[in-house]
Amino acid sequence: MRYLHTFSDHYKKGFENLLWRWPQHENHSRGGGRNRNGLLGALLEGINERTTMSGKAGQGRKFNIDDALEAATLVFWDSGYEGTSLAELTKAMGINPPSLYKAFGSKEDLFFSVVDHYNATHGSFMSVAFAEEETGLGLMRRLLIEAADHYPSKTFPGGCLVISSAVAVTSANRHVAERLSKMRNDNILAMADALTRDRDAGRIPQSTDTHAMAAFVGATLQGMSQQARDGASKEDLLRIAHYAITAIGA
C-alpha cells in the first residue's frame, strides 16, 4: 500500500560525498505467481553491474541512486526489515558500508528511503488510483482489482512491501513496524473520507459505516498481499477482489 506524505529526504543525506548519475527509470513488467531466489538473484546481479561503476582517477566510486535503491528494495521486500542484513544490502547495492552510511544514514534511514522508492515505482498504482478516482466506491473497486494484478509476480518478491516487511519485529524495531502501521492506517482513513463523500452525495446509503467499509477493504488488501506471497495467482486474487467488491456494492 502507498502512504500519505511527501517524498522524504532520507536518501539525500551525504550525497555531497558521492558522485551520482541519474538515469531514466525503467518500467518493470509483472506477472502471476511467486518470486524465487534465483530470479531475485538474477535481478540483483543485473542491478549490481550497473551500480558498481568505477570512477575516474581521483573521483572515487560513482553509483547510481535509482539502481542502488532498487537493489535495496528487492532485498527488503523479499526478506523483511529485520531479516535483511547490512552485508546483504551492501552486496546487492554494490557499495561498501561507509558509502551506504554516507549516502543514506542508517539501515533504518535506508529502509524508509526504500519505502519511498517502492511507492514511487512498484506500488505507485495506489497513489495513482487515489488521485484519479472521483468516487469512493470507484476507488475501492480499482484498488482491489489493481492489487490483484500487481501483488502476484514471477519477477519480484510479490505482495506489498509496506504490508509485509515488518509484520513481526523485536522490541528494538517496534517503532519501524509502528511507522508502517501508521502509513496503512492513514490509507484507511483516506479511503473512509472518500466513502464519506459518496455518502454525503447520496451515492451510498446514509446508514453506511464508511470507516468500517474502508477497514474491510484495507483488511482485504492486506490479506491479498499475503496470499500473493504464499503463491496465489492473479486469478486467485481477482476472485477475492470480486467477492469484496460485491460485499461493498461497488
Q: Which CATH class is domain 124-248?
A: mainly alpha
pLDDT, tens digit (0-9, with 9 covering 90-100), for 147-188 = 999 999 888 999 999 999 999 899 999 999 999 999 999 999
CATH no., domain 10-120: 1.10.10.60
Lowest-pLDDT range, 17-26, 53-62, 179-188, 213-222?
A: 17-26
Write out the residue limits of the CATH 1.10.357.10 domain(s) in the chain.
124-248
Residue 55 half-sphere exposure, CB side, CA atoms within 13 Å? 13
Average pLDDT over residues 73-82: 96
- Mean pLDDT over 72-78 rounds to 96
- Rounded Cα–Cα distance for residues 198 and 164 (Å): 31
Average pLDDT of the residues in 103-132 = 96
Share the mean pLDDT of the chain: 83
Mean local confidence (pLDDT), 29-58: 47
Q: How confident is the model at residue 249 (pLDDT cuts 50, 70, 90)?
A: very high
Termini Cα distance of the chain = 20
pLDDT at 62: 63
Q: What is the pTM of this model?
A: 0.77
Residue 41 pLDDT > 60:
no
CATH code 1.10.10.60 region(s) in the chain: 10-120
Question: pLDDT at residue 17 above 80?
Answer: no
Q: Per-residue confidence at 49, pLDDT binned at 50, 70, 90?
A: low
The per-residue pLDDT for range 133-152, each reduced to its tens digit, is: 999 999 999 999 999 999 99
How far are the Cα atoms of 116, 121, 153 from residue 26, in angstroms, in the given order?
16, 9, 17
When pLDDT is cut at 50, 70 and 90, the band that residue 64 belongs to is confident
Instruction: Quickly list DSSP for the chain.
Output: ---SSPPPSGGGTTGGGSEE--PPPPP----SS---HHHHHHHHHHHHHHH-EE--TTT-EEE-HHHHHHHHHHHHHHH-TTT--HHHHHHHHT--HHHHHHHH-SHHHHHHHHHHHHHHTTTHHHHHHHHH--SHHHHHHHHHHHHHHHS--SSS--S-HHHHTTSS--GGGHHHHHHHHHHHHHHHHHHHHHHHHHHHTTSS-TT--HHHHHHHHHHHHHHHHHHHHTT--HHHHHHHHHHHHHHHT-
CA distance 122 to 25: 11
193 has pLDDT over 80: yes
User: pLDDT at position 65, please?
Assistant: 86
Radius of gyration for the alpha carbons in the chain, expressed in angstroms and rounded: 19
What does the pLDDT average to over 5-19?
35
Mean pLDDT across 216-245: 97
